[in-house]
Amino acid sequence: MTMNSQGRPSTPAGADSAVPETVTGNRGLQIEEALIFEQDSPGMSGVDLPAVPATPLRLGAVKPRGRVGLPGLSEPQVVRHYTRLSQKNYSIDTGLYPLGSCTMKHNPRLNEKMARLPGFGDVHPLQPVSTVQGALELMDALAHWLKTLTGMPAVTLAPAAGAHGEMAGMMAIRAALEHRGEAGRTRVLVPESAHGTNPATAAALGFSVDPIPAGPDGRVDLAAMEAKLGPDVAGIMLTNPNTCGLFERDIRAIADAIHGAGGYFYCDGANFNAIVGRVKPADLGIDAMHINLHKTFSTPHGGGGPGSGPVVFSEALAPFVPVPYVVHDANGFRLVEGAQVENGGQGTEVGRMKAFHGQMGMFVRALSYILSHGADGLWQAAGDAVLNANYVMARLQDTLSASFEGPCMHECLFDDRFLKGTGVTTLDIAKALIDEGFHPMTMYFPLVVHGALLIEPTETESKAGLDQFILALKSLAERAKEGDVAYFQGAPRLTPRRRLDETAAARKPVLRWTPASEPALAAE
């Protein structure tokens, strides 16, 4: 086995005869790529820079101790390195991304082009208001359409992500309760299948979290929820469609019950893409809901940001919308930055959620998506997302084990009962799926079912693409039932690295590269 200078195998351990070990570690067009620091050649440079003139040091007694440590490479080396790394990535541009509860869909390139237009791509948050009238008008237009699509009278664009939006909504609820003189309402009801950020947000704001069990149909147990209502309940945080991929049929009854008890209804809008253009959250009795622009309206997802999680508010919470927000009057567009509310409300106790006004690039992409689709296009996108998920469920339910009966919404949920007695786990299926050229689905979530496999095909996948994914999953399930445990435990075989210990990597990451030995310095 070939080992590189960091002690990592450059070819798979126990490589199959069908995948021969090579002298270079390369496997055809899959090039074994060393770390960029390992390719360092002192003095090498891809650019010709003038000599640095001698200047006095400005750091007092602090003296330079040696090289900065950046690698020296030629231009071809740099280009090849990053091109090869890009070829090792799996992305939505290379194939289906079936992560459930994440909506990793294709984003139209038109929206990317719009986000790079001069005046949007180079706008600065500290520019004078008179120089950014177009940007403010775009924000105002996006706010208008978000309110129109949800039926809500107020919105904040400021939150930097979905979880940040949750916090904005729950802060508004807390402010409304305090304004009513009911600060003693400190308990928040959260379904057991909720996204993990829901209870985390409530706890971070000082609320106590009271879980609500799910019924046998995967939805909130209405009777159990009603039994938990009391004078200390601040509200409920519920996702609809929920994390099991199901529409909460009792949502109006839930809203009426929580309002009757004096609480507020916060809806996690992460799955709004399943109902956008078809159902208005306001009609469901919702008081606040964040919208993940990256899941519903085309902005990039993941990678550490930038994210965007606008929050819409009902009339009851409109006076407590965080600042800033855009208003339009005789003098043009401007931002309300202070603590006053200009829509007839009592004033806001929430204040600012972040330093500036949101993420302009995300706003441009989202509005471009909304306007290019129109009402009929958004209606169809939601329908296609639901259609694709139900197609996947229908094709797989005779091979895998569906967790709940009946049609699903935008994602379908399976558990590991089909693997019982095989010695193969959900993780093994996911690793083998990598060899088939697919990113695995979401595994082991939601926690309400054992060994979960949560699949969201999204509206942007073709039937042919889904059929290939379904074929791969069916073949793997049948192979597991035939008892070929060794095949699964050895997967993946065709990746640059074999099965890794993800737990150890997360708990003990190696964040700094160090050379095997310090390079020797040449004598003068």
Instruction: Please tell me what DSSP assigns to residue 522.
Output: P
Structure tokens that stand for 345 in this block: 């409300």
- Mind listing the pLDDT tens digit for each residue in 473-485? 999 999 999 999 9
Amino acid letter, residue 330? A
- Mind listing the pLDDT tens digit for each residue in 274-283? 999 999 999 9
- Per-residue pLDDT band for 517 (boundaries 50, 70, 90) equals low
Report the pLDDT value the prediction gives residue 456, as an integer from 0 to 100.
97
Interatomic CA distance for residues 243 and 454, integer angstroms: 9
- Mind listing the pLDDT tens digit for each residue in 26-85? 888 888 899 999 999 888 888 888 888 888 888 888 877 777 778 999 999 999 999 999
Interatomic CA distance for residues 386 and 381, integer angstroms: 9
Structure tokens that stand for 408 in this block: 């699903």
DSSP calls for 177-235: HHHTT-TT--EEEEETTS-THHHHHHHHTTPEEEEE-B-TTSSB-HHHHHHT--TTEEE
CATH class of 110-368: alpha beta
Interatomic CA distance for residues 343 and 336, integer angstroms: 11
% pLDDT > 90, the chain? 68
Report the pLDDT value the prediction gives residue 395, as an integer from 0 to 100.
97
* Cβ count within 10 A of residue 316: 16
- Per-residue pLDDT band for 221 (boundaries 50, 70, 90) equals very high
Amino acid letter, residue 36? I
Report the pLDDT value the prediction gives residue 522, as an integer from 0 to 100.
52
| Cis ω before 324 (30° cut-off from 0) | yes
- pLDDT above 70 for 344: no
Report the pLDDT value the prediction gives residue 4, as an integer from 0 to 100.
46
Interatomic CA distance for residues 230 and 239, integer angstroms: 21
Instruction: Please tell me what DSSP assigns to residue 104.
Output: -
3-state class of 122 per DSSP? coil
Q: What is the pTM of this model?
A: 0.88
Interatomic CA distance for residues 237 and 194, integer angstroms: 8
- pLDDT above 80 for 14: no
- Per-residue pLDDT band for 102 (boundaries 50, 70, 90) equals confident
DSSP calls for 371-423: HHHHHHHHHHHHHHHHHHHHHHHHHHTTTSEESSSS--SSSEEEEGGGGTTTS
* Cβ count within 10 A of residue 451: 19
Interatomic CA distance for residues 51 and 58, integer angstroms: 19
| φ, ψ (nearest 5 deg) of residue 170 | -70, -30
DSSP calls for 249-302: TTHHHHHHHHHHTT-EEEEEETTGGGTTTT--GGGGT-SEEEE-HHHHS-----
- Per-residue pLDDT band for 347 (boundaries 50, 70, 90) equals very low
Instruction: Please tell me what DSSP assigns to residue 319.
Output: G
**For the chain, the helix, strand and coil percentages under 3-state DSSP, each to the nearest 5:** 35, 10, 55
The crossing angle, in degrees rounded to 10, of helices 426-435 and 463-481 is 130
Amino acid letter, residue 200? A
Average pLDDT over residues 15-22: 64
How long a stretch of residues is the chain? 524
Structure tokens that stand for 468 in this block: 């290939």
Q: Sort strands 208-212 and 187-191 into parallel, antiparallel or unpaired.
A: parallel
Report the pLDDT value the prediction gives residue 10, as an integer from 0 to 100.
45
- Per-residue pLDDT band for 6 (boundaries 50, 70, 90) equals very low
- Mind listing the pLDDT tens digit for each residue in 290-342? 999 988 998 777 555 568 899 999 999 999 999 888 999 998 999 888 755 55
Report the pLDDT value the prediction gives residue 302, as an integer from 0 to 100.
59
- Mind listing the pLDDT tens digit for each residue in 134-192? 999 999 999 999 999 999 999 999 998 899 999 999 999 999 999 999 999 999 999 99
- Domain boundaries, given as residue ranges, for the chain: 110-368
Cα Rg of the chain (Å, integer): 27
